Amino acid sequence: MIKISDKFVVKAKVEDVWSVVSNMPEVVSCFPNVQKIETLSDGSVKVKFRVDISGAEDKSLTSYLSRIAGKMDIKYTELKPKESLKVNAEGSVAGTNVFLNLSVNLSSLPDGSTEVIYNVEADAGMLAKLFSMGLIHKIIENNASAFIRRFKKMLEKGG
């Protein structure tokens, strides 16, 4: 199990941040290499993507893995308006099952900005056995960093 926790501050009101984080298709569009987003009637989404390992140290796998597609079913499991949310994602990458749980907490700061605290738990399943755990962790960290940069920019623009 891979765990990533961090926080950042957004120059936007908590209400504006909430309007974005509670819109699943908008959030998912911030992930790198998303190829298709399908919104379902219950607000959950199905997403297809490619794995990006351009920053991974093991370049011998780069051409092989860059062609691997993934798909995830993503849904909110808890929504507390303007406070917190939880997301569950299940799917597959390279034909192996992967799971991800995300929790986000929002706090309004005195200057009108918002602190965003997030925790991710990811289970790479058989990928962790096929490839080194270090490589899997590096891929997840690289993609998470790219997501956070895009996501923060979107939040500061208000969606």
Tell me the C-alpha distance between 104 and 117, whole Å.
Answer: 6
Tell me the C-alpha distance between 135 and 57, whole Å.
Answer: 8
Res. 143 pLDDT band, cuts 50 70 90:
confident
Question: By CB neighbour count within 10 A (0-12 exposed, 13-18 middle, 19+ buried), where does 126 fall?
Answer: middle
For the question of whether the overall pTM of this predicted structure is more than 0.95, the answer is no
User: Percent of the chain, pLDDT > 90?
Assistant: 47
Token reading at 5: 């926790």
Q: What is the rounded average pLDDT of the residues 50-56?
A: 64
Whether the per-residue pLDDT at 42 is higher than 60: the answer is: yes
Q: Report the chain's terminal Cα–Cα distance, integer Å.
A: 32
- Residue from 89, 100, 99, 98 nearest 126 by CA: 98
| DSSP strand pairing (34-39 vs 96-108) | unpaired
Tell me the C-alpha distance between 22 and 85, whole Å.
Answer: 8
How does pLDDT run across 88-126, given as a tens digit for each residue?
999 998 788 999 999 999 999 999 999 999 999 988 877
- Residue from 37, 6, 8, 5 nearest 155 by CA: 8
Res. 33 pLDDT band, cuts 50 70 90:
confident
Question: What is the pLDDT, as a whole number, of residue 108?
Answer: 96
Token reading at 115: 């602190």
Tell me the C-alpha distance between 105 and 86, whole Å.
Answer: 9
Q: For the domain 2-157, what is the CATH code?
A: 3.30.530.20
29 in Cβ contact with 45 (< 8 Å): no
